[in-house]
A and B are shown apart, each in its own frame.
Chain A
Amino acid sequence: MTILLYLIPTALVMGGLALTGFLWALKSGQFDDLDGAAQRILFDDPEDNPPKK
């Protein structure tokens, strides 16, 4: 049963990473404009003029 000592923390850490990832995505506004996000991938950023940071 000692394998539980590895498996349970692993499961929790993986779940926790997914949760943190989701909360980060939510906070950084990635869920604000779902319509726009679906269309944006169709357009290239012109190479000679990359968007500024």
Chain B
Amino acid sequence: MNALLDIAVPGSSACLHCGGAVSAGESYCCNGCRLAHRLVSDLGLDQYYRQRQFDPAQRRPRPESDLPGSDLSAWVETSDDETSGRQVAVLTMMVDGLHCGACVWLIEQALLRQAGVIAARVSLSTRRLTLRWQPALVTAEHLASLVESLGYRLVPIAPGCLRNRDETELKSLLRAMAVAGFAAGNLMLLSVSVWSGHGGGMAPGTRDLFHWISALIAIPAVGYAGRPFFRSAWNVLRRGHTNMDVPISLAIILAPSISLYETFTGGEQAYFDSAATLLFFLLIGRYLDLRARRLARASAEQLMALGGDAATVISDDGSLRDIPARDLRSGQMALLRTGSRVPADGAITSGESLLDVSLISGESMPVKAAPGSQVYAGTLNLTAPLTMKVDKTGEATLLADIRRLMEAAESRRNRFVRVADRVSRYYAPFVHVTALLTLLGWIAIGQLPWQSALLIAIAVLIITCPCALALAVPVVQVVASHRLLKSGILLKSADALERLCQVDTIILDKTGTLTLGRLELQPGYNPEALAIAAAMAANSKHPLARAIARAGGDIVPAGNVAEIPGKGLEWSSDKGIWRLGSASFTGQPDDGSSDHILWLTNPSGKAEQFRLADPVRPDAAEIMAELKKIGSVEICSGDRSAPVQHLAEEVGVTHWHALQLPADKVRRLEELRAAGRRVLMIGDGLNDAPALRAAHVSMAPTSAADISQNAADLLFQGDALRPVILALNVAKASERLMRENLALAVVYNVAAIPLAISGYVTPLVAALAMSTSSILVVLNSLRLNGRRSRPRPIEYATSKIRDVGTSTATGIAQTQRAAQ
């Protein structure tokens, strides 16, 4: 045994590997941790323990001695390396349980010490491990089990899923931005020389040389960096619509073209710098906007991936093989590990466990699964391994039905025309007609040759170029999403803020939305009994047991505890058998009043009672009162009438609907839409997901089901409902700013039109007009940051992030760090 294993920090009761609670005198909480610690010191990576910092929102790195590792070959891509002639395999996996840089370092170094590993790279932002190795020397399973034995969970990702569309788009925007920035800087250098030359007597030859150099830089740069705008403008034009990108594209194509003509003919005026600078500003706005939203979306997508795309199939000879869930076939036998999601619909053939079905029914209490019981894809296996016979897979499952309902709701959602596009609908034709009239006017009335008239007409187009107009909305969007992020609200869809402003009806789900969606121990228990109950409960994953264990604080789990699924826990202590569980299990009178009562009996039969409840969010009543000032408030719940009515009265809401199926909620939303109402839906369960999509705009707490987080337009963190009000306020403020910006930009541009029509616009005037209007718009948008509407909820929301206790919280904390 390694000497290091004998060192225990004096007075510490934390496990040396995972930092969890341990029994007195022990250094490790379990054998897995003992082995992991030995592995780390054998590899010489002890630095990990000195430098790591635990992130309380992540699961502890406690290795799960669950079942033998299984086959990963479906996810491995093998290719021949050209230079060495050896085979190289590549595998990408999602890592669950990354706390900090030390985890990244530990995983990478441990893998690099294995023979045959060529490269191992963990990304802390995307939580992905990319592994390259020589398959002749080592297997994927060996490498994966090494990382798992250190206490991390790995989920393989199919190679096709990696090329995320957002990420590629973000990279191409960044490239375009770099090119535009380079061009803008250099062109400005040359243009300023030319402008000063106008006063200082620059020779025409030098000026033309400068114009030629500018043309050489500007034309390829605009051609490359302008592609995002050209593409979008072309797409809408083809469908017979118009948006802001149409006048932008026109301006950034016309400005260099006419300047090129001027350069050829030795003219005085070239607008190369205006085109490049405009493009640079616009690309910055667009990049920031997309980036803020991608971070929000990525955290929801990661949850989906961790949810279990993999299924473990048991072959006829009893061997285990991991395959993507979509490759499951009806009739196959699948193994359901503890803590994994059920991959398909089917029936249990062996084992006894509890299933968390909250994704499907919204029911918060787990149901018992035994041979013969039906299970549905998306439910979570809580307590013990099960085997199931697959019946329906993929598109035939109940989960897929709900997804289809969601997509149908989505397609009926009215097409929302963003305010900037509404403005450009009027602005673009106005500008183009003005330019045309200028051209005709100068030819007909002014008796100018058509070349000169065209120059003036194009000057009109350039001066009215919607630079500030195009920045007016994205800049507010970026400032607003940053402001919301600081308060724990993630903005997922681009038009959510504009949609939020129109809300006049608010519909809320009950469980998990108005309530916290987790059980808490109610006062009136015996503290001594709680200590024993908590030590027993620490062994179980049942929600009631976990609530008890949480209430007990930092306790040492009791040994010798057996779990009887659907009944309770049994602890064989020195003095006899203790029981923690339902009334019937512990032999107490069952009054049938509530599911949320646990009994603890000692060996002599003395009983103690624990009451648990799903508490209402602390500020629910206050927030409901504020929401009523904005619009009518309703509660739509899948729960029974009595609890819904009770809760509605408690928070002061008069309209409520109970026993609502997912389809009923969608129907209610459509009724309201038909009546001309704009509904904000707030919900968290899978059963709310279709409704979240059907509503005008939707919010979900970050404790929500992964699909619901994906479906919602905004996500909020923490135990308070205050973020809902905050989001509505920020949306109102940013709507006002967007309108101000648009008005400012229009006024500015329109004021310059007479100047342009009369032919007095030089490139210097154009550059000045454009930059000042853009700067004004940006400064005006920054005022959103200065507004301190209510500082209190901000502190509240951030201090509660840690309590969410899911991987989302870290995903979001990450997002915040990345965005700051």
A and B part of one assembly: yes
* Interfacial residues, chain A to chain B (CB-CB below 8 A): 1, 4, 8, 11-12, 15-16, 18-19, 22-23, 26, 31-36, 38-40, 42-46, 48-49, 51-52
Q: Are B123 and A8 in contact (CB under 8 A)?
A: no
Contact with B125, one of A12, A35, A48, A52 (Cβ below 8 angstroms): A35
Known interface pairs A16-B182, A22-B178, A33-B126; A40-B104 also in contact (CB < 8 Å): yes
CB-nearest residue of chain A to B128: A33
> Chain B nearest CB: distance from A9 CB in Å?
9
Q: Are B104 and A36 in contact (CB under 8 A)?
A: yes
Complex CA distance for A48 and B206, rounded to whole angstroms: 62
- A12: B residues at CB distance < 8 A: 186, 213, 217
> Chain A nearest CB: distance from B86 CB in Å?
13
> Chain B nearest CB: distance from A21 CB in Å?
10
- B101: A residues at CB distance < 8 A: 36, 38-40, 42-43
Complex CA distance for A44 and B206, rounded to whole angstroms: 56
- A40: B residues at CB distance < 8 A: 101, 104-105
Q: Are B818 and A35 in contact (CB under 8 A)?
A: yes
Cβ of B47 within 8 Å of any chain A Cβ, yes or no, is yes
Contact with A along B346-366 (1 / 0, CB 8 A): 000000000000000000000
- B109: A residues at CB distance < 8 A: 45-46, 49, 51
- A23: B residues at CB distance < 8 A: 175, 178
Cβ of B814 within 8 Å of any chain A Cβ, yes or no, is yes
CB-nearest residue of chain A to B124: A36
Contact with B122, one of A8, A18, A36 (Cβ below 8 angstroms): A36
Known interface pairs A40-B105, A46-B44; A4-B206 also in contact (CB < 8 Å): yes
Q: Besides the contacts A35-B817, A39-B124, A43-B47, what 4 more A-B pairs have beta carbons closer than 8 Å? A: A23-B175, A36-B104, A36-B123, A36-B125
Cβ of B171 within 8 Å of any chain A Cβ, yes or no, is yes
Complex CA distance for A19 and B206, rounded to whole angstroms: 27
- B765: A residues at CB distance < 8 A: none
CB-nearest residue of chain B to A42: B101
CB-nearest residue of chain A to B216: A12
CB-nearest residue of chain A to B179: A19
Complex CA distance for A40 and B124, rounded to whole angstroms: 10
- A1: B residues at CB distance < 8 A: 203, 206
CB-nearest residue of chain A to B202: A1
Q: Tell which of B113, B175, B182, B203 has the most Cβ of chain A within 10 Å.
A: B182
List 19 A-B pairs, Cβ < 8 Å. Answer: A8-B190, A15-B182, A15-B185, A15-B186, A16-B182, A19-B182, A23-B175, A31-B174, A32-B125, A33-B123, A33-B124, A36-B101, A40-B104, A43-B101, A49-B109, A51-B109, A52-B112, A52-B117, A52-B118
Within 8 A of A (CB), among B14-55: 44-45, 47, 51
Contact with A along B173-211 (1 / 0, CB 8 A): 011001100100110011000000000000100100000
Q: Are B125 and A43 in contact (CB under 8 A)?
A: no
> Chain A nearest CB: distance from B35 CB in Å?
21
- The 5 lowest CB-CB distance pairs between A and B, nearest first, are A39-B101, A36-B124, A33-B123, A43-B105, A35-B124
Known interface pairs A15-B185, A22-B178, A32-B123; A39-B104 also in contact (CB < 8 Å): yes
> Chain B nearest CB: distance from A6 CB in Å?
14
Complex CA distance for A40 and B102, rounded to whole angstroms: 8
* Interfacial residues, chain B to chain A (CB-CB below 8 A): 44-45, 47, 51, 100-102, 104-105, 109, 112-113, 117-118, 122-126, 171, 174-175, 178-179, 182, 185-186, 189-190, 203, 206, 213, 217, 814, 817-818
- B45: A residues at CB distance < 8 A: 46
Known interface pairs A4-B206, A11-B186, A35-B125; A43-B174 also in contact (CB < 8 Å): no
- A18: B residues at CB distance < 8 A: 182
Complex CA distance for A8 and B217, rounded to whole angstroms: 12
Complex CA distance for A38 and B814, rounded to whole angstroms: 13
> Chain A nearest CB: distance from B102 CB in Å?
7
> Chain B nearest CB: distance from A5 CB in Å?
10
Q: Are B186 and A48 in contact (CB under 8 A)?
A: no
Complex CA distance for A40 and B103, rounded to whole angstroms: 10
- A4: B residues at CB distance < 8 A: 206
Q: Are B104 and A49 in contact (CB under 8 A)?
A: no
- B122: A residues at CB distance < 8 A: 36
- A8: B residues at CB distance < 8 A: 190, 213
CB-nearest residue of chain A to B100: A39
Q: Are B814 and A26 in contact (CB under 8 A)?
A: no
- B113: A residues at CB distance < 8 A: 49
> Chain B nearest CB: distance from A10 CB in Å?
11
Q: Tell which of A1, A26, A33, A48 has the most Cβ of chain B within 10 Å.
A: A33
> Chain B nearest CB: distance from A16 CB in Å?
7
- A16: B residues at CB distance < 8 A: 182
Q: Are B175 and A26 in contact (CB under 8 A)?
A: yes
- B213: A residues at CB distance < 8 A: 8, 12
Complex CA distance for A4 and B203, rounded to whole angstroms: 13
> Chain B nearest CB: distance from A2 CB in Å?
11
CB-nearest residue of chain A to B186: A15
> Chain A nearest CB: distance from B14 CB in Å?
22
- A38: B residues at CB distance < 8 A: 101
CB-nearest residue of chain B to A9: B213
- B102: A residues at CB distance < 8 A: 39, 43
Complex CA distance for A43 and B105, rounded to whole angstroms: 7
Known interface pairs A43-B47, A46-B109; A34-B174 also in contact (CB < 8 Å): no
- A33: B residues at CB distance < 8 A: 123-126
Complex CA distance for A23 and B221, rounded to whole angstroms: 14
Complex CA distance for A14 and B788, rounded to whole angstroms: 44
Q: Are A26 and B178 in contact (CB under 8 A)?
A: yes
Complex CA distance for A33 and B130, rounded to whole angstroms: 13
Complex CA distance for A4 and B197, rounded to whole angstroms: 14
- B104: A residues at CB distance < 8 A: 36, 39-40
Complex CA distance for A40 and B125, rounded to whole angstroms: 13
> Chain A nearest CB: distance from B177 CB in Å?
10
Complex CA distance for A43 and B817, rounded to whole angstroms: 20
- A35: B residues at CB distance < 8 A: 124-125, 814, 817-818
CB-nearest residue of chain A to B45: A46
Complex CA distance for A30 and B415, rounded to whole angstroms: 38
Complex CA distance for A32 and B175, rounded to whole angstroms: 14
> Chain B nearest CB: distance from A47 CB in Å?
10
Complex CA distance for A45 and B102, rounded to whole angstroms: 12
Q: Are B125 and A34 in contact (CB under 8 A)?
A: yes
- A34: B residues at CB distance < 8 A: 125, 818
- B814: A residues at CB distance < 8 A: 35
- B118: A residues at CB distance < 8 A: 52
CB-nearest residue of chain A to B190: A8
Q: Are B44 and A48 in contact (CB under 8 A)?
A: yes
Q: Are B174 and A26 in contact (CB under 8 A)?
A: yes
Complex CA distance for A52 and B132, rounded to whole angstroms: 12
Q: Tell which of A4, A15, A43 has the most Cβ of chain B within 10 Å.
A: A43
CB-nearest residue of chain A to B102: A43
- B174: A residues at CB distance < 8 A: 26, 31
Complex CA distance for A35 and B100, rounded to whole angstroms: 9
Complex CA distance for A19 and B45, rounded to whole angstroms: 39
- B189: A residues at CB distance < 8 A: 11
Complex CA distance for A1 and B209, rounded to whole angstroms: 12
Complex CA distance for A52 and B112, rounded to whole angstroms: 7
Q: Are A42 and B817 in contact (CB under 8 A)?
A: no
> Chain A nearest CB: distance from B56 CB in Å?
18
Complex CA distance for A22 and B178, rounded to whole angstroms: 8
Complex CA distance for A46 and B175, rounded to whole angstroms: 36
CB-nearest residue of chain A to B48: A43
